[in-house]
Chain A
């Protein structure tokens, strides 16, 4: 009986305790800065090095480049960039290897949709996904960081 009474005491005490429920859709959830949400791609910064597509464990990134329209400049610019969020696992490896921080994480995570087709995001969408961009990307896998120290 004593154990049962103790248990009843705990629940009774909790009756008046502070509640932890978060009124989620009404009050948006603020994620910490490091949160890994839907990527933002900056088409200006991208040098079409293909690192992100190569490191992606699920092969959800496809990208193509085209010669720079400005004949003065060398290199390539981004032509298309698609992420298939059906299979993206938001593992952060693409931002980790990006040498120019062209692909970065944001703090947005709401992707639910009625159609699978909506989960296929193209360059325009990703380029415009500029809200809550992560400040510190810590791209330790990028070539200039040499996979060496973190900061």
Chain B
């Protein structure tokens, strides 16, 4: 008589495919997962608590460290929320710069995702391909604001730095090259039969489930829901540009992959238009009071980060520090569906599904 028993496997916190310090306790029947319990908080730094003792300018560097592969959008959501409460007008040039860096950041973020996801699936080269191109974006950011990852670039009322000499032209060159590189990426991976068989039909959910779980970003759009805050609730200057919301059909990992790759292309489109229309001259800081004190009250502002809807809920009592600052982190919300998706899948698909959700642990744990 053969005795079989379930295996309790601890995936993480140090595991190559959890993209940070994330832990899933999985119960395995053979290689089939019967239960998955996510455990997080290893990277919890209490950003929201820290923020209660800091003024808004001081909080901006902390937002860099939440979603550290997409710091620009984090900067933006905080500044945007404060500006909204205070009714500050942003000069057009500053808003253009913000939009350009946010779209570049979206490309950079999706490149990181693409590289690491393919690494999860077992392909080595895409990681280096993606990072060598992301490097160019980081270099451009470095020229713009002096940092490669934690930019601290935006300020309430504008941006800290104007574009340096020739920077816009260098971005234009990059955008042109990026189009070609994107084709190369598709040639390298997107048609590969092994890759397709790994992704198609894996981690599938329908639109209703996605909405019930509050998914956002490519995770939601892969089910066919046309929901991109840049289009549905335009902020910044997005209503001036022409671009499509990339959606999928089946809501599986492959559609999520296509959505994100399509978003890179759309970001390139937006960048091309934005760089053409970039105002030749102008202010980069609006009229901002010396001490930034939003009026008492509260606001919830949301924008489309590469991972989905990032929101910033500020409760102010009219002081320079927020009374309560809460970030709606898309990774955190998107990750909730993971235990549901994992049941009945194999260990290999755990990696595929987790990678497909695209989480950044700095943001999950905040």
Contact = CB atoms under 8 A, between A and B. Distances in A.
B160 to A, nearest CB: 6
A29 to B, nearest CB: 10
Q: How large is the interface on B (under 10, 10 to 19, 20 to 34, 35 or more residues)?
A: 35 or more
A102 B64 CA distance: 26
Given A57-B58, A57-B61, A147 B144 contact: no
Interface string A85-109: 0000111110010000000010000
B119 to A, nearest CB: 15
B193 A35 contact: no
A55 B142 contact: no
A7 to B, nearest CB: 5
Interface in B153-211: 155, 157-162, 164, 184, 187-196
A35 B151 CA distance: 10
A34 B192 contact: no
Nearest to A32: B143
A147 B288 contact: yes
A36 B150 CA distance: 10
Contacts of A92: 146-147, 152, 160
A31 interface: yes
A141 B285 CA distance: 11
Contacts of A147: 157, 285, 288-290
26 contacts: A3-B192, A3-B196, A4-B192, A4-B193, A4-B194, A7-B187, A7-B189, A10-B184, A11-B188, A14-B125, A31-B142, A32-B142, A34-B142, A57-B62, A89-B65, A91-B61, A134-B146, A138-B161, A140-B155, A141-B57, A147-B285, A147-B290, A149-B285, A150-B160, A150-B283, A151-B284
Interface of B: 54, 57-62, 64-65, 125, 129, 132, 135, 142-147, 150, 152, 155, 157-162, 164, 184, 187-196, 283-285, 287-290
